[in-house]
Amino acid sequence: MGRTIPSYRYALEKEISSLKLYRDVLNPRDRKSFDNIMLYARMHSDAGSLSARMFISESLFLSALIEQQKQLDELERDFERIKRRAKI
């Protein structure tokens, strides 16, 4: 029987585990940020599996950027709301 391509989710987890040594040498605060980035990648695994990218790391980091942009957008909205209340 022919070989099958591993699922994106499996490949993503393998990619994340390949970064374990890097994670382990980070200081605890940075390690938490790293873990969040990996969580973001997992959150967007559906999109990653459909993108048919050659390198898993591309979708991993794009997922992180998407989540960080969402956080920036929310902070900007909060800031604008605060400015309106303060009439700045």
Q: Where are the domains of the chain?
A: 8-86
Query: Could you say which DSSP state residue 54 is in?
Result: S
pLDDT at residue 16, as a whole number: 95
CA 46 from centre of chain: 13
Contact 2, 46 (CB under 8 A): no
pTM of the model: 0.75
Contact 44, 60 (CB under 8 A): no
Tokens at residue 54, please? Answer: 């050659």
Nearest CA to 41 out of 6, 8, 74, 18 is that of 8
pLDDT (mean) for 74-82: 96
53 pLDDT more than 80: no
User: pLDDT category, 74, cuts 50, 70, 90?
Assistant: very high
Q: Is 87 helix (H, G, I), strand (E, B) or coil?
A: coil
